[in-house]
Amino acid sequence: MNVAIIGTKFMGKAHSNAWLNTPHFFDMGIRPVLKVVVGTDPAGTQALAENWGWQEWSTDWREVVARPDIDIVDIATPTYLHHDMAVAAAEHGKHIFLEKPFAVSLEQARAMLAAAEKAGVVTYVNHNYRRVPAVRLAKKLIDDGFVGRLFHWRSTYLQDWIVDPSFPLTWHLRRETAGYGAHGDLGSHSVDLARYLIGDVAAVTGMTANFITERPLPGAGAATFSAGSGESTESGPVTVDDASFFIAEFDNGVLGSFEVSRFAPGRKNYNYFEIYGSEGSIVFNGERMNELQVFSRNDPAYAQGFRTILATEAGQHDYIANWWPPGHLIGYEHEFHHGVVDFMRAIETGGTIEPNFYDGMKEMEVLDAAMASARNGQKVSL
Ligand SMILES: NC(=O)c1ccc[n+]([C@@H]2O[C@H](COP(=O)([O-])OP(=O)(O)OC[C@H]3O[C@@H](n4cnc5c(N)ncnc54)[C@H](O)[C@@H]3O)[C@@H](O)[C@H]2O)c1
């Protein structure tokens, strides 16, 4: 099946690697063909095409998405473009592989879900952390009763890449291009993990902070938006949150907390969660992604304590047989391979993959409710 990817930078590269190399590791009834890459910068787009073996390149996503020879559209662009690109792809009957956060608003999210359902296409939202082997093992442990009755979810997702006040006002820092700040960028991953491991959220209470409210405009070529009238040409206002906290009640009675920030020096990609239940506990840290910390109340009392499991053993999750022997670690890019293989198998079997556009819409419901709570100071029920 012919793939068109839109976006050539961080995610453009990560996805190109996955489309190219996944069939070398996994048996796939339908193999992806790297057909065309679309970007805004002709030289960079052509360079990505040549480096990763995309057969063609273009700067016109609307023309590419309408092409009858394209079967799959991969959207790896800033968040404000997800809606128009996904709706157009669905209307042309393409299967859709889409980056997170799902959309800049719940209204957009609902329209994207409706367009995909009407078209009957396979959709995937790339919350790649669901497909980390240790996270798969956490899910298996919960399903097998290791944690028992679930009591608590605690997540923090921390990074530090915008602590410097001279970091420019890129698309990530504007409401109209990003939707939310850390709340959407990092919080969407945490909400997706919580929905996967714990269940649906029933009510939230939130708060947010802005630490740097004005930033220099990006240099030529870096901007993905224009400064509005009345704005300085040198700097502009940050219009998204820098950090957010919210507490949550889940449908199943679990009490949870979500904490995200891009102002946590030393935390590079600290996607961390703790789960506590009647029989035991699970702790995951994305910076040590091959490991899971567990505690079991069913261990003999004299031997109780947190222990570390290396998630590279057969039987721990479905993907391990396709990689290396136990103890030979895998990394960030493998999450994308796992997304690609599950997505292609969903197309092949006429099935589905999760998270899909329904999950993207549910994720936006939680994020929107938490932001509404932060604004009005009240608990918001979903
Ligand atoms: N899953 C993850 O771990 C992860 C990590 C980082 C980013 N993301 C998400 O991936 C998406 C892209 O992020 P990024 O960091 O790669 O962004 P980026 O700013 O580095 O790159 C954006 C790309 O989109 C292209 N683009 C912008 N406007 C376009 C248009 N009109 N037509 C065609 N191409 C256009 C640009 O040319 C560029 O190649 C975002 O939604 C982001 O939240 C996900």
Give yes or no: residues 140 and 259 share one domain.
Answer: yes
Task: Give the pLDDT of residue 149.
Answer: 98
Find, among 69, 119, 49, the residue nearest to 91 by Cα. 119
| Burial group, residue 197, by CB count within 10 angstroms (0-12, 13-18, 19+) | buried
Neighbouring C-alpha atoms within 13 Å toward the C-beta of 49: 21
100 Cβ closer than 6 Å to some ligand 1 atom:
yes
Residue 299 lies in a domain: yes
Do 123 and 182 fall within a single domain?
Answer: no
Same domain? 134 vs 70: no
Alpha-helix residue ranges (DSSP H) falling in 120-233: 133-143, 175-178, 182-185, 187-197
- Which residue of 5, 9, 46 sits with most ligand 1 atoms within 8 Å of its CB, as the best mutation to test the pocket? 9
352 occurs within a structural domain: no
Residue nearest to atom 40 of ligand 1 (CA): 78
Q: CATH number for the domain including 123? A: 3.40.50.720
Say if residues 48 and 39 touch (Cβ distance below 8 Å). yes
- Would you list the DSSP string of 283-316? EEEGGGTTEEEEEETTS-GGG-S-EEEES-STTS
Is 296 found in the same domain as 155? yes
Closest CA to 100 of 342, 363, 366: 363
Q: Cβ(39) to ligand 1 under 6 A? A: yes
Q: Is the shortest distance between the CB of 110 and ligand 1 below 6 Å?
A: no
pLDDT in tens, the chain (382 residues): 999 999 999 999 999 999 999 999 999 999 999 999 999 999 999 999 999 999 999 999 999 999 999 999 999 999 999 999 999 999 999 999 999 999 999 999 999 999 999 999 999 999 999 999 999 999 999 999 999 999 999 999 999 999 999 999 999 999 999 999 999 999 999 999 999 999 999 999 999 999 999 999 997 444 444 444 445 579 999 999 999 999 999 999 999 999 999 999 999 999 999 999 999 999 999 999 999 999 999 999 999 999 999 999 988 888 989 999 999 999 999 999 999 999 999 999 999 999 999 999 999 999 999 999 999 999 999 9
Q: Mark which of 88, 104, 128 sits at the end of a domain.
A: 128
Domain for residue 288, yes or no? yes
Atom of ligand 1 nearest to the CA of 189: 1
Task: Give the number of domains in the chain.
Answer: 2
**For position 232, what pLDDT does the model report?**
55
C-alpha to C-alpha distance for 113 and 360, rounded to whole angstroms: 8
Residue 224 CB–ligand 1 contact under 6 Å: yes
Task: Note whether 154 and 273 are same-domain residues.
Answer: yes
- Is 355 within the bounds of a domain? no
Range of the domain at 27: 2-128
Closest-CA residue, ligand 1 atom 23, reads: 7
Q: Is residue 269 in contact with ligand 1, taking CB distance under 6 Å?
A: no
Nearest alpha-carbon partner for 152 in 27, 326, 280: 280
Per-residue pLDDT at 228: 46
81 Cβ inside 6 Å of ligand 1: yes
Please give the Cα distance from 278 to 147 (Å, whole number). Answer: 6
Per-residue pLDDT reduced to its tens digit, 105-139: 999 999 999 999 999 999 999 999 999 999 999 99
Same domain, 217 and 108: no
Please work out whether the CB of residue 181 comes within 6 Å of at least one atom of ligand 1.
no
- Residues 44 and 129: their CA atoms lie apart, in Å, by 28
* Both structure tokens of 264: 């946590």
Name residues whose C-beta falls within 8 Å of residue 113's C-beta, 6 or more positions apart in sequence: 357, 358, 360, 361
Query: Distance from the CA of 95 to the center of ligand 1, in angstroms?
Result: 19
Query: Which residues, including other chains, have CB under 8 Å from residue 343's CB and lie 6 or more apart?
Result: 95, 97, 122, 124, 353
Q: Cβ distance 279 to 256 under 8 Å?
A: no
By three-state DSSP, how is residue 117 classified? helix
In a mutational test of the pocket of ligand 1, which residue from 41, 54, 99, 189 has the highest number of ligand atoms less than 8 Å from its CB? Answer: 99
Does residue 259 have its Cβ closer than 6 Å to ligand 1?
no
Query: Does 244 sit in the ligand 1 pocket, CB within 6 Å?
Result: no
Q: Does the beta carbon of 155 sit less than 6 angstroms from any atom of ligand 1?
A: no
The answer to whether position 284 is within a domain reads yes
State the CATH number of the domain containing residue 291: 3.30.360.10
Rounded distance between C-alpha atoms, residue 252 and residue 250, angstroms: 5
Rounded CA-CA distance 2/68 in Å is 10
Nearest to 292 by CA among 301, 280, 278, 303: 280
Alpha-carbon span 288 to 200, nearest angstrom:
27
Residue 342 lies in a domain: no
The H or E element containing residue 378 is none
- The residue whose two tokens read 């820092």 is 173
* Cα 149 to ligand 1 centroid, rounded to whole Å: 39
Measure 143 CA to ligand 1 centroid, in angstroms: 35
Lookup: tokens for 35:
């057909």
Is the minimum distance from the CB of 38 to ligand 1 under 6 angstroms? yes
CA pseudo-torsion sign 368, 143, 340, 223: positive
If you take atom 25 of ligand 1, which residue's CA is the nearest one? 7
Is the C-beta atom of 306 inside 6 A of ligand 1? no
Instruction: Give every CB contact of residue 305 below 8 A, 6+ residues apart in sequence.
Output: 295
Asked if 176 and 301 sit in the same domain, the reply is yes
* CA 102 to ligand 1 center in whole angstroms: 12
Closest ligand 1 atom to residue 82 Cα is 41
Q: Mutation test of ligand 1: which of 5, 40, 65 has the most ligand atoms closer than 8 Å to its C-beta?
A: 40
Last residue of a domain, one of 102, 128, 154: 128
pLDDT at 221: 41
Give yes or no: residues 296 and 209 share one domain.
yes
Picking from 109, 128, 147, the residue at the C-terminal end of a domain is 128
Q: Are residues 147 and 279 in the same domain?
A: yes
Determine the residue of 5, 11, 79, 338 to mutate for testing ligand 1's pocket, defined as the one with the most ligand atoms within 8 A of the Cβ atom: 11
Residues 38, 118, single domain; the answer is yes
CB 182 within 8 A of CB 210: no
Establish if 261 belongs to a structural domain: yes
Rounded Cα–Cα distance for residues 109 and 259 (Å): 23
Report yes or no: 107 and 361 within 8 Å, Cβ to Cβ: no
Q: What is the pTM of this model?
A: 0.96
Q: Is 67 a member of any domain?
A: yes
Q: Are residues 316 and 181 in the same domain?
A: yes
**Same structural domain, 236 and 290:** yes
